[in-house]
A and B are shown apart, each in its own frame.
Chain A
Amino acid sequence: MFDRVRAAVTGGVVAVSLMASAAAFAAVESKDPIKLTLHDWTGQLITTKIMGEVLKKAGYNIEYVQADYIAQFAGLESGDLHVAMEMWETTGRDAMDASFKTGKTENFGETGMQAIEEWWYPLYMKERCPGLPDWQALNKCAEAFSVPETAPKGRYLGGPVTWGGYDDERVEALGLNFEVVHAGTDAALFAELESAYQRKAPILLWIYTPHWATAKYQGEWVEFPKYTPECYTDPKWGSNPNLAYDCGKPRGPIWKVGWAGVKTKWPGAYNAIKAFKLNNDEMSAMIVEVDLDGKDLDGVVAAWVDANEARWKTWIK
């Protein structure tokens, strides 16, 4: 019964797509819509819409679907969704690994953007804690970063526990006199930053970029011993011979991932998605235009597409 229904639906779809493809100017492999996922931060929306608009120019049928950053893997594996344009090395590694193992999704390569995540403080804290940005200054002014619940320890506002990041381990390994408090979402994280910034109050927190916050607020990254893979795996590495994680956070690429079937169903689109590249500066500029200057997102995307025709033409050639 269900199969018959499905056959009827597929039949309808084929009929409609035949009509539609007659109208399209370029021959593409399939006129079924390629579903790109949208999340809830501006940078990702820009990345995805640029890709989508470029694919449209190549004649592909595009559909944007809103989906959760991690929950979307269920859809990517089943083929309900097809492409996720931003999967951060720093936050999405576990989900990616788990998903790639099923063989139903694959890595479409780097977006060209680099994720930076680290402890961060507003510039006005430098006066109260002169040794910054060197991490060893943190202990001397732990009190300056403290609040009543944590005093005399300093307070560090970490990201949601789901982001990982090993901050509790870092505090222990580096012997920092700080208490780690986890925000539940990044909205909460930036709400606290905004609040503290308005009052010029002490704050030390986890910031990531590309993001509007690094453009809106003046501040610096804390400089920890530079990350190497051994630091996380080998306790002997670094200043603390007994514990791992005595270094800063890794920086890494932002990846594109998607349904493994894209390659066979839309080979041309697959190549275009793999070829897609943007850099941090371009992205930051666009994020600032949308989030801080209040410009319309679709307008900003259209402006990029108009200005960079030569570039995206090579993606879809």
Chain B
Amino acid sequence: MNTAAPALLRDGRAIWALALGASILFAWATRDLVPWAHEYPRDWIWPIRFEITDFMKWLINDASFGLFSFTDLTRSIAWLLDWPLGLATGLLSTGLMQGQGSDAVQITPPLSWLAVIGAVVAMGHYARDWKLAALVGGCFLYLAMFGQWNSAMITLSSIVVAVPIGVAGGLLLGIVAYRSPWFERAIKPVLDLMQTVPVFAYLVPILFMFGFGPVAAMAATIIYAMPPMVRVTMLALRSVADEIVDFGRMVGCTRRQLTWKVLVPASMPLLMVGVNQVIMLSLNMVIIASMIGAGGLGFDVLAALRRLDIGGGLEAGIAIVVLAVALDRLSQAFATRPPPVHEDPARGWIARHPWLVVALGWIVVTGLAGLVMPGIQAYPKALQVTTGTFWASLVEAINVNFYDALEAVKTAMLLGVLIPFKRFLIGLPWAVVVGLLAVAGWRLGGWRLSLLAGGLALLVVITGQWEKAMITVYLCGISVLIATAIGVPVGIAAAERERLGGVVRAVIDTLQTLPSFVYLMPVVMLFRVGDFSAMIAVVVYALAPAVRYTAHGIRQIDPQLIEAGIAAGCTRRQMLWKIKLPLALPEIMLGINQTIMLALSMLVITALVGTRDLGQEVYIALTKADTGRGIVAGLSVAFIAIIADRLIAAGSMRMRHRLGLAAEGATA
């Protein structure tokens, strides 16, 4: 293999040169000869979207399994989901109610703000220490002080139900995929679809199936937030050292024991990355969920921005962030909490659960006190604070004083990079692009990949989405390049310096959970409606995985290898390029993969600024409740993602073969 490599490489280059040369010649020579290869004729478009709409109608109205109809099935799922959600909402926000609507009678008031803060502080201390307790308590205090409490509790109640379902479902699917290669092959494309088909595309069907309201919103949230958990579970289980698995087998574990007592605990640190992602993505859906009836903080953000209340939008947006931080840190702490040294069953139940007792006592005391003193039940209005017009004034000051400078940067970037790149991509004949993708697939991963890449691209063409797809590729491509160029170095730096790592993590978590709407409006004010504003929003959002996975990849390198490098006299530079980066490559590639996925999922939001890509198409379909149109455009987005993902994966596989790292095994 090694001796053959140079020859193969030269051969490969020749093939690339040949393919490129042929395409340029083709593009230049055949514009008039075969115009259909340049611009796909309208009459040839496959009207699949009408068929999908009809199918959906049939599914909702007529489909039946004999005893019960399809709608009965989905409605009963919705009914099941409604139980935990109703309970959570009752405890946290509305109080337990009897009856419906405005006639409902409150049986008990909701947990008071003091009770909730007390409970989370107790959880923080139980899970780790006073520092965490203070952080979590501070987060919740923010919600009360800034007047976000009621909305935050509505959001929290849907999150505390959605996240465990997402994590458990993801973990189970991941384990099955780990055990059965067949299932893994089947589920991977499904995961890609779940993550890349823009949420707007399946909102309408979900509303049909689950009815209007918080449950439908929660179903959409779970669909959106679960895939990273499945992926991470597969990666985590596979990266458990063989010795540990062998040891488990030697002591005679059953398959079930091996999974739950050996594999899952051993891969806990990486699994927690997945839990973190589920929490982050669930909170990410808060805005979109509020569009279909979830209410809560997402609704506040939307409403504030509709009246251009930048400060109000930011305060509600930050409330989502602090919720995310509190939940994430708590869940991480619970997972890494060392098991108690010994349990003395002779001691009473109370002595063994001091924190639980204290928290329950606190809830009862504040609950009773709240009946007499309203300030204990609900945070007193007089003590609420707000940043008021500070943020609006800040944006105004920047706008008035620096607009011209910003405008100059933007115009240069637009005219120098964005517009030429866009024109180039749109000008490419579709036949050439499909051909090149097929060649790339063949070179990187053989004829199967070639068929997949070429075939999916062809599907985009024949459903009539080509031009919009190219605009999508242009916008996401540039954004992913910029996000990677910023994210990977930041991730490396964060991994090498402990303190910087903490800061970076906080910033990244904020960027990923702060609804992009909050910064999108100031961005529009400074850069106007257009591609540039959209690009900024995509970069900011998609940065997170590039940083996070790079940092994780560098941190998990075996310290012995680093020491070996130092002993061999590597310079810092050599350490980075010859040892750390190659060893972290699988994680970095997973990070870039996720960056692409997030960039594509952000199309939904950029559509709200005003772009003309597939995201816009999906958004139009949503506002016209056109199921077929939305799904076809949504699938086109997913196909772009899958092509990019598979080509990158195959490319990095080859790279690792060349670097002799193939034995490391973990694939994205």
Partners in one complex: yes
Contact A183 B103 (CB under 8 A): no
Chain A residues whose C-beta falls within 8 Å of the C-beta of B521 in the assembled complex: 187-188, 191
Known A-B contacts A66-B293, A162-B619, A184-B608; A31 and B208 likewise in contact (beta carbons under 8 Å) = no
Q: Out of A75, A94, A194, name the residue touching B624 (CB < 8 Å).
A: A94
A182 within 8 A of B: yes
Of A67, A148, A185, chain B has the most CB atoms within 10 Å of the CB of A185
Chain A residues whose C-beta falls within 8 Å of the C-beta of B607 in the assembled complex: 184
Chain B residues whose C-beta falls within 8 Å of the C-beta of A285 in the assembled complex: none
A105 within 8 A of B: no
Complex interface bits, A190-212 against B, C-beta within 8 A gives 1, otherwise 0: 11101100110100000000001
Contact B625 A70 (CB under 8 A): yes
The binding surface of chain B is classed by DSSP as helix
Chain A residues whose C-beta falls within 8 Å of the C-beta of B68 in the assembled complex: 1-3
Chain A residues whose C-beta falls within 8 Å of the C-beta of B352 in the assembled complex: none
Binds B, one of A13-21, A109-117, A308-316: A13-21
Q: Contact size class for A? A: 35 or more
Chain A residues whose C-beta falls within 8 Å of the C-beta of B98 in the assembled complex: 16
Chain B residues whose C-beta falls within 8 Å of the C-beta of A160 in the assembled complex: 610, 623
A32 within 8 A of B: yes
Known A-B contacts A20-B105, A70-B624, A75-B211; A184 and B616 likewise in contact (beta carbons under 8 Å) = yes
Chain A residues whose C-beta falls within 8 Å of the C-beta of B213 in the assembled complex: 65, 80
Q: Out of A9, A56, A162, name the residue touching B102 (CB < 8 Å).
A: A56
Q: How far is the CB of A60 from the nearest CB of chain B, in Å? A: 8
Q: Contact size class for B? A: 35 or more
Contact A184 B611 (CB under 8 A): yes
Chain A residues whose C-beta falls within 8 Å of the C-beta of B520 in the assembled complex: 188
B399 within 8 A of A: yes
Cα distance, A31 to B352, chains bound together (Å)? 49
Contact A198 B399 (CB under 8 A): yes
Contact A80 B211 (CB under 8 A): yes
Chain B residues whose C-beta falls within 8 Å of the C-beta of A187 in the assembled complex: 305-306, 308, 517, 521, 608
Known A-B contacts A20-B105, A33-B100, A192-B524; A71 and B622 likewise in contact (beta carbons under 8 Å) = yes
Contact B207 A71 (CB under 8 A): yes
A171 within 8 A of B: no
Contact A66 B290 (CB under 8 A): yes
Contact A73 B608 (CB under 8 A): no
Complex interface bits, B410-430 against A, C-beta within 8 A gives 1, otherwise 0: 010010000000000000000
Within 8 A of A (CB), among B386-418: 396, 399-400, 403, 407, 411, 414
Q: Out of A42, A73, A162, A199, name the residue touching B307 (CB < 8 Å).
A: A42
Within 8 A of A (CB), among B593-625: 606-611, 616, 619-620, 622-625
Contact A157 B105 (CB under 8 A): no
A61 within 8 A of B: yes
A27 within 8 A of B: no
Contact B102 A71 (CB under 8 A): no
A63 within 8 A of B: yes
Residue in B closest to A63 when the chains form the complex, CB atoms: B101
Chain A residues whose C-beta falls within 8 Å of the C-beta of B211 in the assembled complex: 75, 78, 80
A40 within 8 A of B: yes
Contact A191 B292 (CB under 8 A): no
B134 within 8 A of A: no
Contact B212 A34 (CB under 8 A): no
B19 within 8 A of A: no
Cα distance, A17 to B76, chains bound together (Å)? 22
Chain B residues whose C-beta falls within 8 Å of the C-beta of A192 in the assembled complex: 524-525, 528-529
Q: How far is the CB of B630 from the nearest CB of chain A, in Å? A: 11
Q: Interface of A with B (CB < 8 Å)? A: 1-3, 5, 9, 13, 16-17, 19-20, 24, 31-35, 40-42, 52, 56, 61-63, 65-75, 78, 80-81, 94-95, 98, 147-149, 157, 160-162, 181-192, 194-195, 198-199, 201, 212, 291
List 29 interface pairs A-B (beta carbons < 8 Å), by A numbering: A2-B75, A24-B103, A32-B101, A33-B102, A34-B101, A40-B306, A61-B103, A65-B213, A67-B292, A67-B293, A68-B291, A73-B625, A74-B625, A75-B212, A78-B211, A78-B212, A80-B211, A161-B616, A162-B623, A181-B530, A182-B529, A182-B610, A183-B609, A187-B308, A188-B608, A190-B306, A191-B308, A194-B525, A199-B399
**Nearest 9 A/B pairs, CB to CB:** A33-B101, A75-B212, A195-B525, A184-B610, A63-B101, A184-B608, A61-B101, A162-B623, A61-B103
